[in-house]
Amino acid sequence: MNKHLLFKALALFFPAFLHAQEPHPCGTAPVIDPWLLEYKQHPEQFATARSFDTLYAGVQVHLVARNNGTGRFTVERLLDAFCRLNLDFQPAAVQFFLKNDWTTPNNTNWYNHSDIPEGIEMMFENNVPDALNAYFVGDPAGNCGYNLPYAGVAIAHQCANPDDHTWTHEVGHALTLPHPFIGWEGKVYNFAVPTPDTLTYDYTYFHSTPDTIVPAPLDTALVERLDGSNCGIAADLFCDTKPDYLSYRWNCDNNGQSQVTLKDQNGATFKADGTLYMSYADDDCSNRFSDEQIATLRANLLTQKTAWLHPGAPYPDISGAPALLSPNGGETVPAVDIPLHWSPAPGATHYLVQVSRFSNYVVKNYDLVVTDTTFTAATLLPNYTYYWRVRPFNYGHTCASFTENASFYAIPSSSVGGLATDDNFRYYPTRLSPGQQLTLEIPADWLNQTAECRFFDATGRLVWQTRLTPGAEKITLSLPSDEWQAGIYRMVWTNSTVSRSATLFCTGGQ
Ligand SMILES: [Zn+2]
């Protein structure tokens, strides 16, 4: 989503919305990582860090909620965001995998943290070693996200939509990429003012180690010129990222460039490049890391973050979709302990299961992860149609989509009949309308035994019969009940070992 335009639209129609604060794109203050400086100054030392193999890096996700457990990022959104992260890093041949289950801390002060030190505390208390730690919170100190080089990244829920690149941007920082406009953070570029040669910046909290947090350190960045004459030592130190002085969220033109014109210290005019993930251009504009950025982030992984790396792909692709087996097709089921069954998807280790009264899942009765291919919905409100679907994933692959919807109709469990003996035989509904099917749940030891199933009216007259050999634990009968008068009917089930009878009420078609 284009948050920038959405915000403007909301502000137009809801003036009160103006009081809300659009998050700052990124809280990561300017800093040139000492490793990046070394890498740029002595590239020969990193010759062995070149490889074209896909690198697999572990991520530890933390989904933070308020004290009372509310507000947590949903699994569905996490799967989408993680898919986006991996798509964005595909051209760099870097793929991330979830190192462990995501953690679920409850802490309102972390969920909405008002300043970076609270985020530091959150990360120090929850970080796991040997992984990129990523925190999803409601408000990371007024930003869409930020990166602490020694701790992890924090991402705002509202900036982690399926087409957003904040997570990608912050992981870029975690792998030492600066903003292309480094030095301009917190400053507003003005075309009318001569562009300086240098900019001074404050990088409190954003050192590569936590022991130098105070006092506020200052550093100086050279402003990059358009002619490339200082590109290797100015701004982000990359020569294949153009000069960029825009440290606020901006929208691009159709060519992915800034709509405003910039002017360097020599008076040369240009537009900023919005296609870079590390810029502040709208999410709709950005779609790449530059070649030098890719070489750098890979070298950083291969030399500084080897503990994150897994040799080879830790998880296989997901090579198929599950089939929803039952209940399906609007079939009638009692509203208690409803078993949902689906077929496995090759490669999947987990399934996100959703059950809803609404086919668009706007409100969900169930929304949870299982590792099996079955889930029992304990209770649902009866007399409604429900929809359900599953989404297969594993900890390396989260891009598979949901299945199509399956549906069933839940009836009150009071309308389920059983037999006096403890046979696990159930039938429903016990109040049958004309044309409605009767569902029978067959005890296991009756399966594959030929049985006579007869129906008698209240006077004892045989009105219908069938011979069948049940091969499944659930079967349905289509009774000609529209030809029957309203009243009580008795069903008798007889096979070679048992004879059982049960009653139901038919509303009748006459
Ligand atoms: Zn940033």
235 lies in the same domain as 341: no
101 lies in the same domain as 172: yes
In the chain, pLDDT over 70 holds for what percent of residues? 92
pLDDT 10s digits, 8-59: 454 444 444 444 568 899 888 777 888 999 999 998 888 776 778 999 999 9
d(CA 107, CA 123) in angstroms, rounded, equals 12
Q: How many A from CA of 146 to the centre of ligand 1?
A: 6
Residue 384 lies in a domain: yes
Q: Can you give the pLDDT at residue 424?
A: 78
User: In the structure, what pLDDT confidence band is assigned to residue 206 with cuts at 50, 70 and 90?
Assistant: low
Q: How many A from CA of 28 to the centre of ligand 1?
A: 5
Q: How many A from CA of 329 to the centre of ligand 1?
A: 49
Quick check: 4 and 25 in contact, CB under 8 A?
no
394 lies in the same domain as 438: no
DSSP letters for 32-60: --HHHHHHHH-GGGGGGG---SPEEEEEE
Q: How many A from CA of 196 to the centre of ligand 1?
A: 22
What is the CATH number for 373? 2.60.40.10
Q: How many A from CA of 248 to the centre of ligand 1?
A: 11
The mean per-residue pLDDT over the stretch 246-259 comes to 95
Q: How many A from CA of 408 to the centre of ligand 1?
A: 47
Final residue belonging to a domain, choices 414, 448, 469: 414
297 lies in the same domain as 332: no
Q: How many A from CA of 309 to the centre of ligand 1?
A: 24
The region that residue 235 occupies, defined by phi over 0 for left and psi between -120 and 50 for alpha, beta otherwise, is: left
What is the CATH number for 438? 2.60.40.3080
Final residue belonging to a domain, choices 285, 309, 333: 309
Q: How many A from CA of 9 to the centre of ligand 1?
A: 25
Residue 9 lies in a domain: no
136 lies in the same domain as 217: yes
User: In the structure, what pLDDT confidence band is assigned to residue 407 with cuts at 50, 70 and 90?
Assistant: very high
Containing structural domain, residue 470: 416-506
What is the CATH number for 125? 3.40.390.10
Q: How many A from CA of 407 to the centre of ligand 1?
A: 45
Contacts of 228 (CB under 8 A, 6+ apart): 239
pLDDT 10s digits, 434-450: 888 899 988 888 999 99
Mean pLDDT, the chain, whole residue set: 90
Q: How many A from CA of 283 to the centre of ligand 1?
A: 13
* Integer CA distances (angstroms), 284 to 24, 76, 92, 292, in order: 17, 21, 20, 22
Over 476-505, what HEC string results?
Answer: EECCCHHHCCCEEEEEEEECCCCEEEEEEE
On the 0-12 / 13-18 / 19+ scale of CB atoms within 10 A, 324 is buried
146 lies in the same domain as 283: yes
The answer, yes or no, to whether residue 3 has pLDDT greater than 80, is no
Residue 481 lies in a domain: yes
d(CA 221, CA 183) in angstroms, rounded, equals 6
455 lies in the same domain as 423: yes
Q: How many A from CA of 30 to the centre of ligand 1?
A: 8
190 lies in the same domain as 335: no
297 lies in the same domain as 386: no
For 161, the token pair is 């939509």
| Total count of residues recorded for the chain | 510
365 lies in the same domain as 483: no
Final residue belonging to a domain, choices 414, 448, 467: 414
The answer, yes or no, to whether residue 459 has pLDDT greater than 90, is no
Q: How many A from CA of 100 to the centre of ligand 1?
A: 26
Q: How many A from CA of 116 to the centre of ligand 1?
A: 14
Residue 185 lies in a domain: yes
Q: How many A from CA of 444 to the centre of ligand 1?
A: 61
Residue 11 lies in a domain: no
Residue 316 lies in a domain: no
Is this model's pTM higher than 0.75 or not?
yes
The mean per-residue pLDDT over the stretch 487-505 comes to 87
For 264, the token pair is 């360097």
Q: How many A from CA of 177 to the centre of ligand 1?
A: 9
Q: How many A from CA of 32 to the centre of ligand 1?
A: 12
Number of domains in the chain: 3
The answer, yes or no, to whether residue 7 has pLDDT greater than 50, is no
pLDDT 10s digits, 263-314: 999 999 999 999 999 999 999 999 999 999 999 999 999 999 999 999 999 9
Residue 432 lies in a domain: yes
pLDDT 10s digits, 165-195: 999 999 999 999 999 999 898 889 999 999 9
Residue 4 lies in a domain: no
pLDDT 10s digits, 92-129: 999 999 999 999 999 999 999 999 989 999 999 999 99
The answer, yes or no, to whether residue 213 has pLDDT greater than 80, is no
Q: How many A from CA of 412 to the centre of ligand 1?
A: 54
263 lies in the same domain as 114: yes
Q: How many A from CA of 168 to the centre of ligand 1?
A: 10
Q: How many A from CA of 25 to the centre of ligand 1?
A: 7
427 lies in the same domain as 474: yes
